[in-house]
Amino acid sequence: MSAGSSLLGARRVVVKVGSSSVSGENAGQIPTLVASLARLHAAGAEVILVSSGAIATGVPFLKLEERPEDLATQQAAAAVGQNILVNRYQRALTTHEIVAGQVLLTAQDIENPTHRGNARRAIERLLQLGILPIINENDTVATHEIRFGDNDHLAALVARLLCADRLVLLSDVDALYTAPPNIVGAKRVAHVPHGDPLEGIQIGESQSGWGTGGASTKVQAARLAADAGAGVLLTETGLLSAVLDGADHGTVFDAAPGAYLQ
């Protein structure tokens, strides 16, 4: 079964998109991404979007030329950017007659059993009502000490929290490679069986081309979700539509056989 067929036949799908894919000059990709989400929705899947990009979206509106380094200005940019980003998503979703619901989480919300239960119930109810939840880290209140670290990790935790059977990690790189893709001879890793240690694969920490995360965070998040029973697709944002059409793109991580999501 192709990755696209697997996604179209899924019960519940968490899709994470990186900041570089939906902000700046790539903000125009939002309608195309939303069209793919709507396609999954129309196929019967419950879809949850985990979207980065609040700070990057807000920076130009604060008349700043680059990403701020101090926490307070980052939080201010997030407060402005989150509003604009969700508005852009909703405009695109309206053409498909889908309503978005914004959910902002901190790491403490996932770690605290009471907060975690509240978040799960709220998101489950949104899904029951046919709403598409858009989740992001609550950058306006999160400090460096209590952050998830990156939204790949957040997306994997959300997949576990909501018992999703599929997780899609989208960025500006089309797949996992045997070495950084800019290195001559690097080859795409199309399939990762569950438990594969990926020996001989150079998984770097470099942030280049991977937003705030890096290839290593994608792999860590994929393994976290796969261990809990969610199959994972890692690919480029602009290729999701082609994947749903049956094209062979990206890297698929197999879920643990018989795993119980919790």
**Helix or strand holding residue 20 (H, E):** helix 19-22
Give the separation between CA 125 and CA 22, rounded to whole angstroms.
27
- The encoded tokens of residue 149 equal 């670290």
Task: Please tell me whether 139 is known to bind a ligand.
Answer: yes
Task: Please tell me whether 187 is known to bind a ligand.
Answer: no
Task: Please tell me whether 16 is known to bind a ligand.
Answer: yes
Task: Please tell me whether 112 is known to bind a ligand.
Answer: no
Give the separation between CA 162 and CA 12, rounded to whole angstroms.
8
3, burial (CB in 10 Å: exposed 0-12, middle 13-18, buried 19+): buried
Contact 46, 12 (CB under 8 A): yes
Task: Please tell me whether 151 is known to bind a ligand.
Answer: yes
Tell me the three state secondary structure of residue 80: helix
Q: Which residues participate in the annotated binding site? A: 16, 52, 139, 151, 171-172
Binding-site annotation: residue ranges for substrate: 52, 139, 151
| Residues of the binding site for ATP | 16, 171-172
